[in-house]
Structure 1
Amino acid sequence: LGSILATLPQDVHPNQPRITAAEVEQLERELDEANSALTPLRSFVLPGSGRLEAELHVCRTVCRRAERLLVKLAREQDVPRETVQYLNRLSDAFFVWSRWVNHVLGLEETLWQPNAAASGSSGQLE
């Protein structure tokens, strides 16, 4: 992904690896597999149940930022569609992986609850 984004269109080597629909589909399959072990969400997840989970959330936010910049670039330059799709799915994967890590480690997710600060609720699942 990095070499694709760092190479100007006129400098692309014919044998340079590219992200294809197959890679996007593979990432989606891995996402679906990890997600199948998780309970459906009823609220937003707040990071911080564990260090690894929090670090995966940081990866997700950095990836989302890169995605927004890539979409902006794609409006002005030729950016392969699969590259944008892959980055989008990768940020989703970081979110699912953060939930999956909590599941595997037996950590409870911290869910956002409206007005929890006012009520003194911790936001933990009960």
Structure 2
Amino acid sequence: MKIYTKTGDTGKTSLLGGTRVSKSHVRIESYGTVDELNSWIGLLRDLDDNSRRREFMKGIQDRLFTIGSSLATDPEKQKVKIPDLHDSDITDLEEAMDKMNETLPDMRHFILPGGHQANSYCHIARCVCRRCERAVIRLAQEEPVDERVVFYLNRLSDYLFVLCRTISFETGSEEIPWLPRK
């Protein structure tokens, strides 16, 4: 099977269901950003600092593929079968955050990204997740989007922030507080 089809050479692509749209359509931006986020999560998962979280992060990647499939489907083509996102996917993130928070010191300042390479990668993933969330919200203002997609992305960005703090704690790295100059 050839990867290239040349059907996108005119600046259009097909959604699941066959509808052709511009590659600049907010739907394409939305699932493209999900794909970018999934790549960052893959990088995080592969770091030794996350070895005990690899399976959980693989589950996140699976949910992101589910979200990408949902976003890549023409909402008018209901016959296309795609996996579902469940409420339990959101609560899984909440429970993981709660567990990590049990060991973390109270946060007294905003935190600057950095302090350890794994932490920095995690902050990048968090920022991409927020961008993804904004794109999906723009899409939801124009077309139907499962509300659980927005909930999941919102919770995932929170999870990634807590993971940043956890990585700093576990590696003994300094959390760099933002102390605004006076």
Category of TM-score, reference length = shorter chain:
0.7 to 0.9
What CA distance in whole angstroms lies between the structure 1 residues aligned with 2:105 and 2:171? 15
Alpha carbons of structure 1 residues 74 and 107: separation in structure 2 relative to 1, 3 Å: same
* Structure-2 separation of matches of 1:100 and 1:12: 41
CA distance in 1, matches of 2:97, 2:76: 34
Higher relative contact order (CA 8 A, sep 6+): 1
Structure 2, unaligned runs of 5 or more: 1-66
2:82 matched to which residue of 1? 16
Q: C-alpha separation between the residues in 1 aligned to 2:140 and 2:150?
A: 8
Match in the other structure for 2:141: 75
RMSD: 1.5
Distance 1:13 1:52 in 2: 42
What amino acid does structure 2 have at the position aligned with 1:23?
A: D
- Counting only pairs closer than 5 Å after superposition, residues 57-96 of structure 1 correspond to structure 2 as 57-96=123-162
Aligned letter for 1:60? R
Question: Is it true that 1:99 corresponds to 2:156 in the alignment?
Answer: no
Moved over 3 A (4+): 10-15
Equivalent residue, structure 1, for 2:70 = 4
What do residues 10-41 of structure 1 show as CA deviations (whole Å, max 9, x unaligned)? 34556521112111111111111112211111
- Counterpart CA distance in 1 for 2:136 and 2:146 is 10
Q: Is the 8 A contact 2:73 2:80 kept in 1?
A: no
1:123 matched residue in structure 2: none
TM-score (norm 2): 0.60
Q: Distance in 1 between matches of 2:80 and 2:88?
A: 19
Task: Choose from 115, 127, 142 the match for 1:49.
Answer: 115
